[in-house]
Amino acid sequence: MKKALKIVVLAKQVPDTRNVGKDAMTPEGTVNRAALPAIFNPEDLNALEMALALKDRTEGSTVHILTMGPQRAADIIRDAMFRGADGGYLLSGREFAGSDTLATSYALSCALKMIAPDIIFAGRQAIDGDTAQVGPQVAEKLGLPQVTYAEEITEIKGQMLEKADKMEELLKQVAKVLANNTNYATMISTPTYNGNKLKFIQLSQVDDHQLIVVIVMEGNIVKNQIVTLDEPLSNEALLKLNMLLNTTLNGLSIDQITLGLIARLKEQAGIHSEVVGHVLDAVAEIIHVDNDMEIYTSGATNIFKYPELSDKQSAQEIISAFEEKQQLTELVTQTLSQEDNTGIQVYIGNETPVQTMKDCSVVTATYELGDGMKGTIGIIGPKRMDYEHVLKSMKRLQNELDQMFHKKE
């Protein structure tokens, strides 16, 4: 049974700018809020809709609105309740008047610490400000992971953790069964995003000295990282940097971002070349191919069944490789980096990428989950291994894993 969720939606009451009259602006050039009718911020309604959809899928969950403003802002809480929300919270007081995004996010984050929700939704931005900063700032102040420009929720945290646990157990079992079936040592890696090509980069200013870098990769994987600034960026400069980075880097993998390309980017960025350098460092860290890869092994002691591998030095080197796993990681990385890596590879003796296994034969195969996710299966044994049996076992397992993970054709 799914856990009931405590959901909070950040929302704002804004002036309706659809019918602007002559009294819409003050002599100082600011919005005359008293002269315009107040409405529920349209993009916050999108957040409310997504929150209510999640509530419908998780029995016992609740949705509450959190807003900040004058007493009349309570109207959007009532509006939300008419739409299906369970209630709301209003932060109101003269102390909050004229708050910028930094002050607003601070007040909201303090309230959220008291409310302690399981998940928070926010619209992209308010139509009376267009900064798109409050949501990300709240997440940073609370130390919470964030996803921007979300269109749909397909999984929730509990399901993802359960799925990850099941995959770990499955892969361990695969390595064990393969070792028992072949009488050789076996390994299998967790799937990683092969290629890791960039689809989109979005830079958004959190405050005067921080940028949030949102990176969308192949497979629609979204990751983000905070970059520190020496001085604030203007909205115009931020727009130009977003255009420069996306025009230049779209569709490239980390290996294709060369020193020459970095130099050209920095030159085009002019006085903001240092910012570009920080952003590229963040990109490299986020999309590195070895991120989060685990390797599970089984049957290492099977090598003692073969006299040519059972001498002290050979056995010690192979056992060390299985225990430390660094050399196995290099084997997986090399296998996945090959352009045509969907078949079965056989390495005999000195052909083996792992030098401590030069007295062995290594057979590898790639399995796929779709959307660029790939993992490696490996069998390590003597040069005289039963290749026909190994290749049949490997091919059968490769097909079974592809089908099990619903590979997209």
Q: How many residues does the chain have?
A: 409
pLDDT computed for residue 195 by the predictor: 54
Task: Give the orientation angle of helix 134-142 with respect to helix 101-115, to 10 degrees.
Answer: 50
Give the integer Cα–Cα distance in Å for 245 and 266. 10
> Which tokens in the block code for residue 207?
């405050």
Strand pairing category for 62-68 and 6-10: parallel
Contact 85, 61 (CB under 8 A): no
pLDDT computed for residue 64 by the predictor: 93
pLDDT computed for residue 96 by the predictor: 74
Question: For residue range 273-304, what is the model confidence (pLDDT) as tens digits?
Answer: 888 888 888 777 766 544 567 888 898 888 88
Q: Which fold has domain 163-192+293-404?
A: Beta-Lactamase (3.30.450)
Q: In a 3-state reduction of DSSP, which class is residue 178? A: helix
Contact 306, 235 (CB under 8 A): no
Domain 6-142 class? alpha beta
Average pLDDT across the chain, whole number: 79
> Which tokens in the block code for residue 137?
């700032």
Question: For residue range 320-344, what is the model confidence (pLDDT) as tens digits?
Answer: 888 777 778 877 777 766 655 557 8
pTM above 0.75, yes or no: no
Q: Please give, one letter per residue, the 3-state secondary structure of 70-133.
A: CHHHHHHHHHHHHHCCCEEEEECCHHHCCCCHHHHHHHHHHHHHHHCCCEEEECCCCCCCCCCC
In terms of phi and psi (left: phi > 0; alpha: psi -120 to 50; beta: otherwise), the region of 93 is left
In the structure, what pLDDT confidence band is assigned to residue 164 with cuts at 50, 70 and 90?
low
Domain ranges of the chain: 6-142, 163-192+293-404, 198-286
Question: For residue range 35-51, what is the model confidence (pLDDT) as tens digits?
Answer: 677 888 888 888 898 89
Short-list 239, 211, 235, 246, CA closest to 225: 211
How distant, in Å, are the alpha carbons of 74, 76, 176, 254, 385 from that of 106? 20, 21, 52, 36, 65
Short-list 362, 364, 306, CA closest to 335: 364
- Domain at 198-286, CATH from 3.40.50.12780, 3.30.390.60, 3.40.50.2300, 3.20.170.30: 3.30.390.60
How distant, in Å, are the alpha carbons of 53, 66, 120, 131, 380 from that of 44? 14, 11, 12, 14, 56
